[in-house]
Structure 1
Amino acid sequence: MNTTGAEGTEYRIVRLRERLAGDDVAELGIRVEERGGAVLLSGTVATAVRRDEILRIAAEELGETPVRPDLVIVSAEPPDSGEELP
């Protein structure tokens, strides 16, 4: 199978999506798009550790293709202190 050029990048993106949906990551809300010769990863994750894991997997799957991360960390933890109202 030819994995060079645009066809190779498309193949790698499909593999990345499969790994993000499966494995131990199970991140279905991450968008993976090819944009101008780079791959954009966008969405929200629960922790910085999860973001780092996603970026590690992306680097493994995409090889030399540049990755542009736009992953926002959104915590589901309750606040440490109460909100002060005026």
Structure 2
Amino acid sequence: MMQLDHAGPLRYRIEHLRDRLAREEISELGVRIEMRGSGILLWGTVTTPACRDAILRIAAQELAGLPWRQDLQVGGVQPPHHRPEELS
């Protein structure tokens, strides 16, 4: 009995999503896109909620009809809010 390879179309769609994210003005290097079982996982850290929303919008367009999930976290890029240590 011949088994169908469902990984091929998933890999193609993953690469297409990677290409599109690279072309858009998002430039988030902390986003990973991987095959997990029979679906796709987007995970990593982004700089702002707006950036996360843009990535999820693009992913929804590019991965329409495929099972996918996300675990994108917004990381802080603000300087710490404490005084510098005083050395004497």
TM-score (norm 1): 0.78
Larger of the two Rg values belongs to structure? 2
Q: 1:15 is aligned with what amino acid?
A: H
Helix, strand or coil for the counterpart of 2:30?
coil
Moved over 3 A (4+): none
**What is the percent sequence identity of the aligned residues?**
49
- RMSD (Å), alpha carbons: 1.7
Runs of at least 5 residues in structure 1 that lack an aligned partner in the other structure: none
Q: Larger deviation: 21-30 or 49-58?
A: 21-30
Q: 2:77 is aligned with what amino acid?
A: A
| 1:1-80 correspondence runs (5 A) | 5-78=6-79
Deviations 1:21-76 (A, max 9, x none): 22111222211001111111111001111111111111111111122111111121
Count of aligned pairs: 78
Q: 1:71 is aligned with what amino acid?
A: L
